[in-house]
Structure formats: structure tokens, C-alpha cells
Amino acid sequence: MNVKPMPEMTEISKPFWQGLKEGEIRIQQCNQCDGWVFFPRRHCSHCLAHDLEWKPVSGKGTLYSFTLTRIPTLPEFADEMPQALAVVELEQGVRINTTLVGLEEDEIKVGMALKPVLDQVDAKGNTLLRFTAADKSLDSLPYMNPLGSLPRNEQGQIQVAVDNPTALQALVSDEFTEWSNSITVDQELINTFAELSGDNYWIHTDPERAAKESPFGTTIAHGSLVQVLQSRLNFALPFEITGFQTMVNYGSDRLRFPAPVPAGSEIQARARVKSVQQSRKGTALTLEVHVHVVGNDRPSVINDLVILYR
């Protein structure tokens, strides 16, 4: 995952960003007056007609204005300093805010000819539009996975240092781990938890009454019991966090029980890294853990578990 803030794709701007992912620069042209329009909008900025069409362009242009920044606006941009913020005027006359790449400071001149550089910033193909001098050989910046060069432990897990924010953000994923081992949640276990917790409500502890009155036709496990059993469900995370002094369970940002676990069911779990946030308290890694009854698509527990590293 890209650690830096990204522009928000809207319904109107989606064709522009999708074009960059596909290796093409697209801007809008009015079918009424032939005027070119940027930034993306619903109406023509020349004649106000609501008749705009997305069209591919070369991206060639000239440098209209630039500023060299030496203090990052956010810590995530520190690796780009000095950053050449620029306004580029395309051949079609529209101006685009961007950054210049592949240039020394003394090479940057107002009016210089420029060409586009497509900068892929993550594994999903999300791409930003940069520019460089027209005579440079640079055409694209491929995505470099920050996890690719990191060492692995004996179990094959990627070792990610707690002070490596770029690599930590790359752990964030929409993909879940493989399934964990499974365990059986039987009536004896449910009764033991009921005695320990004091929650002996009949829907958990009285099989005969549950068979007659429960909408589930049987007793069900306490949601809290299924949550606690996560510690016995060993899903294999593909990484190991290193370089910290303490690691604590900081709680849950979200805890839901979408589906019941009938007595006698087998459960299993899987997880993904949902987010990584750094603050003065430390590094908070949120694991989204799903516990399912084996064979059920709908999770019985969704737990956004926050682990704090210091």
C-alpha cells in the first residue's frame, strides 16, 4: 500500500484516474465549442455546455510555473525533498498541478518543454501524473514493493521493522490470510464460559428450551466466548514486526457478531491488516479478524483488533 496521501477519485474524475492506470492521459473536450477542460467537471468552462467527452492526449506541454519546496508538508513526503511543485500547460491549453521528476534544480526553467511520466504508486496500479524534460528518457516510474527486499525469518515471514513506515503501510491489504486451524465449540465449553462470566441466559445453556423457543433451534455460543477463542485460532500472518520494546493488545476499534455459532459447531479464523497508524503512543496495527463457522461465508465475529507496538 502507498504510504502517501492520494487524491480522492470521484464520479466525475474517475475517467482521468482510470486512464492513468491504463497508461493513457485523458482530459475532457467540449463537443459544442471544442474547448479543452481541466480539472474534471460536468460543464464546459468556456461555453458552459453540459456536453463534455473524455479524449486521450499526448501529455506534452511546457512548464508554466514551479516552486521548489524543502520542508515537507507531511512526514510522508520527506523522501521527495526538495520537491518540485509545478503547473504544466498542455498543448491543449489546460494547466495541471503536478510535480517534476528526474531533473536537477538547475535544469528547471519556466517555458521548458515537458513530457508526462506515469508514476505507479501501489500494487493496485494506482498512478499519478508527473512530468520531466522532453529530452529525458524517463517515461514511467514502476511500483517498487517496499517489502520485496526485506529479510525473512525461519518461518518465511517478512521481517518488518517497527520504524519502517513505508514497509508497514505496505502490509495493509484487502486479502485475508489462509484459514486457521479449527476448534469445536461444544455445550460443555459454552457452559464453562457461562459459569465463569455469569452469563447463563437460557439461549446459551438450556438445550431443551432452546430447541423449543430459540429461533436457531439449539443453544448458541456467547459472542464474547467466540471472540476470546481467537487466541486458539492460529492464522499464519505473512510478516513479523521487529525492533519494538513492548507489544500490547490495545483493544478493538470494532466488534460485531453478525451470525450465531450453534453448539457443536467448528470455527476457524482468518485476518488481514486493515490499517497502520503511527503516533506519539507508538505504532498501532489494526488486524481485521473474521471468525466463521466452518462452511459459512458469513462471519460470526468481526473484530478490528488493535495491536500497539512501542
Q: pLDDT tens digits for 242-282?
A: 999 999 999 999 999 999 999 999 999 999 999 999 888 99
Low-confidence residues of the chain: pLDDT under 70: 1-3
Quote the cell numbers at residue 45: 468552462
* Predicted local confidence at residue 124, as pLDDT: 83
Whether residue 162 is found in the same domain as residue 205: yes
Number of domains in the chain: 2
Instruction: Kindly provide the residue ranges of all beta strands, DSSP E only, lying in the chain, ordered along the sequence.
Output: 25-30, 36-37, 52-57, 61-69, 83-90, 95-100, 113-120, 127-133, 140-141, 158-161, 183-185, 239-242, 247-256, 265-279, 282-293, 301-309
Whether residue 122 is found in the same domain as residue 175: no
Q: How many CB atoms lie within 10 A of CB 270?
A: 19
Whether residue 135 is found in the same domain as residue 185: no
Q: Which one of 87, 112, 141 terminates a domain? A: 141
What is the longest distance spanned by two Cα atoms in the chain?
84
Residue 5's alpha-carbon distances to 42, 169, 229, 256, in angstroms, are 25, 12, 37, 29
Q: pLDDT tens digits for 47-67?
A: 999 999 999 999 999 999 999
Q: How many CB atoms lie within 10 A of CB 49?
A: 13
Whether residue 163 is found in the same domain as residue 295: yes
List the domain range (segments joined by +) for residue 265.
158-309
Rounded Cα–Cα distance for residues 165 and 146 (Å): 10
pTM for this predicted structure: 0.70
Whether residue 207 is found in the same domain as residue 294: yes
Q: Is 152 domain-assigned?
A: no
* Predicted local confidence at residue 287, as pLDDT: 97
CATH code at 224?
3.10.129.10
Quote the cell numbers at residue 236: 499464519
